[in-house]
Structure 1
């Protein structure tokens, strides 16, 4: 062994191309894992559009055809449901199961970029939210239940998809706090009351207005209404809606980071 060999660094930093490839491979594996779990993929991807078609086109079809506000209210409600369910249940249940099996320790020992598994889960949560939202958008446009200009439709869609971010953070929090078998139950315990108590599916009596801002669904829906220019359904300023979404994201993420750092 000569001096030149001794001066050579033991390891070399991976190139940006290899790092990008590692992230993409992690995302691909996470997406395949979700798609191969029909008990998770089918409810989160199919149920929102099926319920929207049933409620908006069949049960209340006459009302949504005559009243644009009603059509927009139901479209927004089921769209929030579509973008939030994959983010919450897809991330929360899988992360809790992986923690219980010790997979996070294995991932940390692998020669992969730090946090690539976390990026993959968030990316797949957002991507599956898009996949669940697009059929609802297509059905609403085909049935004439989205009486907005194309620019407003695009803005509302962007706001709804951004609304998946706090639910990704909520999924991370639930996945780090509970065991794999219990995580879906706790996710439902938090998610389902918020769908109803936030006024997402039906108007609430004035006596219940005080508790509406504590649910993320309310702020996501309000941001979508501002983006779509639906003034009759705007119940809080746009800055309050954005602030609520950011606040929930920071809160849930902080709890998840604390829990991962404490126990892993």
Structure 2
């Protein structure tokens, strides 16, 4: 299993699409937004450059979790790699867990690079406990998005999975308030946004940097989405296995 995880991770790190969307874009957008809004004060008196850091870390992590699952998984089904895995000693559960662990590993650069840019270029400073809580929460909180990516990759061919994953990624980013505050949305859209895993995922990070800790409501919402999408991902994988 460890060798399989290593192979999967190295394969994605060589993928320029992953490097651009997951590492370069979040850092570039962070620096751009900070050049415009960085000196303002956000909610709870937190400086905007810290609020933006959380939002762009969340966007990068969301993108990483979906880009490292949806398209590669669809390509593996089409190329016959899935059939090869089925004749190895690896169980179905091991294969799914490997994909999940690999996705979590590939999320870390997206989070760490944005945080590093915040420290180096914006002078952001947080207590060690807040840094640890923020990074851990942003890391583990991407599980529902990785499960969604696996579902897309199991159900759709590569040429369809890529645009669907990207559209889904941007919709989740918008409804999560990662690009602009949810408070500025129409009331109906705001109600939908508050139920989305991306909103609660980012909100947990924002609450941590404000010194309040992750809210229980956000933890429960993200956890519920993780369970629901995880179950769907398993069924989608089984369907893909039968078809393969």
* TM-score bucket of the superposed structures, by smaller chain: 0.7 to 0.9
Mapped partners of 1:248, 1:212: distance in 2: 14
- Choose the corresponding residue for 2:217, options 230, 234, 240: 240
Mapped partners of 2:75, 2:114: distance in 1: 30
Structure-to-structure mapping, 1:44-193, within 5 angstroms? 44-56=22-34, 58-63=35-40, 68-193=46-171
Deviation at 1:147, TM superposition (A): 4.7
Deviation at 1:87, TM superposition (A): 0.8
- Aligned residue for 2:198? 217
- Choose the corresponding residue for 1:226, options 201, 207, 211: 207
Mapped partners of 1:174, 1:158: distance in 2: 26
Q: Is the Cα–Cα contact under 8 Å of residues 40 and 47 in structure 2 kept in the other structure?
A: no
Deviation at 1:95, TM superposition (A): 0.7
Deviation at 1:230, TM superposition (A): 4.6
SS of residue paired to 1:110: coil
- Runs of at least 5 residues in structure 2 that lack an aligned partner in the other structure: none
Q: Looking at CA atoms only, which structure, 1 or 2, has the larger radius of gyration?
A: 1
Aligned residues: 236
- Runs of at least 5 residues in structure 1 that lack an aligned partner in the other structure: 1-22
**Residue-by-residue CA offset, 1:91-143 (whole Å, 9 max, x unaligned):** 11111111122321220112335443323322221111111211111121223
Mapped partners of 1:154, 1:52: distance in 2: 20
Mapped partners of 1:93, 1:148: distance in 2: 36
- Aligned residue for 1:198? 176
Q: If the length of structure 1 is used for normalisation, what is the TM-score?
A: 0.80
Mapped partners of 1:257, 1:63: distance in 2: 44
Q: Which moved more, 1:26-35 or 1:105-114?
A: 105-114
SS of residue paired to 2:12: helix
- Seen in structure 2, the aligned counterparts of structure 1 residues 153 and 111 have a Cα distance that, compared at 3 Å, is closer
Mapped partners of 1:139, 1:64: distance in 2: 19
**Residue-by-residue CA offset, 1:125-184 (whole Å, 9 max, x unaligned):** 111111121111112122345353221122112111112211111111111121111111
RMSD, matched Cα: 2.3
